[in-house]
């Protein structure tokens, strides 16, 4: 499968999982079943919110934008500041800073994470060495790090570089080592899958890296729990909840990996990823990034792709990542992604 197909699948898959999970984000499993039937929410057409996406997709797009506008931690910080404005303003300002910030649909506030908001409200601070508490929200390990980090795995970095750069950028908002290392692990996983590695060996390769990192243990334990539960039997919501609820970074990653391992196709994986009592839109988004990278855009449910909000923008950003980082051609991109000030 061609790399572009995987990049497009990874970003649009994330949006699908986000949109499927958002209507049930704050519902317990019994409430979801009471509302949608014994199998839970199984079709985006039944979700009732017009395919809306949330902070997970918004921030993923701004991660990609930060990479396209310089890629240094300072550039990611500036990109997340532009996302922050989308959560504070009613719509794009005239002369918005870049093409992405001019997209009207991004100006919706749908339960954004507190650490993400407070983290980017502060000035840029360089990351701490891995294993130490980061400088911003040092005790936070919410899943807001993981759910935005797929683009680090989609720009042709090797898994170690993807891990490093995602974990550094995660420290812009979350300082708990598990919070930022889980994001790094996720980016490494995406990098491996996007390069053609099947999911299970990719998880094993990431576990090897986590085992070698100071404070990598919590994330490694969560991933091993996902593998163990996946080996126990067919997928179910009860099994998902034995893996975790996804509010915290390592559980979000583990639930997404579990669903991607057990679901027989992208649709089944996404349904598993959102039907539980936890953070359904984030586990859905992260699972969607994984299955999209695995199966490509054509492996995603076509009827859901038609429904999801922002589809054209998400696919444009995917193509722009490929153009800039795989084809190495920026000539058509500077209009949409003016380089950061110090990089200009
Ligand atoms: Mg969300």
User: What is the Å distance from ligand 1's center to 278 Cα?
Assistant: 12
Matching residue, tokens 């969607």: 288
DSSP readout, 151-169? GGGSSS--HHHHHHHHHHH
Measured distance CA(236)–CA(252) in Å, rounded: 16
User: What is the Å distance from ligand 1's center to 292 Cα?
Assistant: 18
User: What is the Å distance from ligand 1's center to 147 Cα?
Assistant: 8
Distance set, CA 165 to CA 35, 39, 67, 322 (Å):
41, 39, 10, 18
The tokens for 18 are 């986000």
The tokens for 24 are 């049930």
| Angle at which helices 3-21 and 55-68 cross, to 10° | 150
Q: How many domains does the chain have?
A: 1
Range of 104's domain?
A: 3-343
User: What is the Å distance from ligand 1's center to 54 Cα?
Assistant: 5
User: What is the Å distance from ligand 1's center to 65 Cα?
Assistant: 19
User: What is the Å distance from ligand 1's center to 287 Cα?
Assistant: 13
User: What is the Å distance from ligand 1's center to 328 Cα?
Assistant: 32
User: What is the Å distance from ligand 1's center to 111 Cα?
Assistant: 6
Render each residue's pLDDT in the chain as its tens digit; 344 residues: 899 999 999 999 999 999 999 999 999 999 999 999 999 999 999 988 889 999 999 999 999 999 999 999 999 999 999 999 999 999 999 999 999 999 999 999 999 999 999 999 999 999 999 999 999 999 999 999 999 999 999 999 999 999 999 999 999 999 999 999 999 999 999 999 999 999 999 999 999 999 999 999 999 999 999 999 999 999 999 999 999 999 999 999 999 999 999 999 999 999 999 999 999 999 999 999 999 999 999 999 999 999 999 999 999 999 999 999 999 998 889 999 998 775 44
Measured distance CA(39)–CA(165) in Å, rounded: 39
User: What is the Å distance from ligand 1's center to 327 Cα?
Assistant: 32
User: What is the Å distance from ligand 1's center to 330 Cα?
Assistant: 31
User: What is the Å distance from ligand 1's center to 22 Cα?
Assistant: 7
User: What is the Å distance from ligand 1's center to 284 Cα?
Assistant: 10
CATH classification at residue 257:
1.10.4080.10
- How many Å from the N-terminal Cα to the C-terminal Cα in the chain? 35
User: What is the Å distance from ligand 1's center to 213 Cα?
Assistant: 29
The tokens for 254 are 């583990």
User: What is the Å distance from ligand 1's center to 110 Cα?
Assistant: 6
User: What is the Å distance from ligand 1's center to 342 Cα?
Assistant: 31
Measured distance CA(254)–CA(128) in Å, rounded: 25
User: What is the Å distance from ligand 1's center to 225 Cα?
Assistant: 24
User: 113-123 as b/e, with b when 16 or more CB fall inside 10 Å?
Assistant: bebbbebbeee
């Amino acid at each position: 499968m061609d790399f572009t197909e995987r990049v497009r699948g990874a970003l649009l898959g994330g949006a699908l999982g986000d949109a499927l999970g958002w209507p049930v984000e704050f519902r317990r499993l019994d409430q979801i079943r009471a509302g949608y039937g014994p199998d839970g929410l199984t079709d985006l057409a039944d979700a009732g919110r017009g395919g809306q996406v949330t902070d997970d997709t918004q921030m993923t797009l701004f991660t990609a934008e930060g990479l396209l506008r310089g890629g240094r931690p300072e550039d990611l910080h500036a990109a997340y500041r532009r996302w922050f404005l989308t959560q504070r303003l009613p719509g794009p300002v005239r002369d918005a800073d870049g093409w992405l910030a001019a997209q009207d649909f991004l100006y919706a506030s749908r339960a954004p994470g507190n650490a993400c908001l407070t983290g980017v409200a502060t000035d840029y601070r360089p990351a701490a060495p891995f294993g130490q508490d980061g400088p911003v929200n040092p005790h936070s390990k919410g899943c807001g790090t993981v759910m935005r980090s797929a683009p680090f795995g989609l720009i042709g970095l090797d898994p170690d570089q993807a891990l490093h750069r995602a974990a550094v950028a995660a420290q812009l908002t979350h300082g708990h080592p598990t919070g930022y290392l889980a994001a790094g692990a996720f980016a490494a996983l995406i990098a491996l899958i996007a390069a053609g590695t099947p999911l299970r060996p990719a998880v094993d390769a990431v576990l090897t890296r986590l085992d070698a990192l100071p404070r990598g243990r919590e994330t490694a334990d969560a991933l091993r729990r996902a593998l163990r539960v996946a080996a126990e039997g067919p997928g179910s919501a009860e099994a998902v909840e034995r893996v975790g609820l996804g509010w915290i970074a390592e559980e979000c990653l583990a639930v997404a990996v579990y669903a991607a391992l057990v679901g027989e196709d992208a649709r089944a994986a996404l349904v598993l990823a959102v039907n539980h009592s936890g953070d359904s839109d984030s586990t859905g988004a992260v699972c969607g990034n994984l299955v999209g990278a695995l199966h490509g855009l054509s492996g995603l449910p076509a009827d859901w792709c038609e429904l999801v909000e922002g589809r054209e923008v998400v696919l444009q950003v995917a193509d722009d990542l490929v153009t800039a980082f795989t084809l190495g051609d920026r000539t058509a991109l500077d209009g949409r992604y003016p380089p950061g000030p110090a990089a200009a």
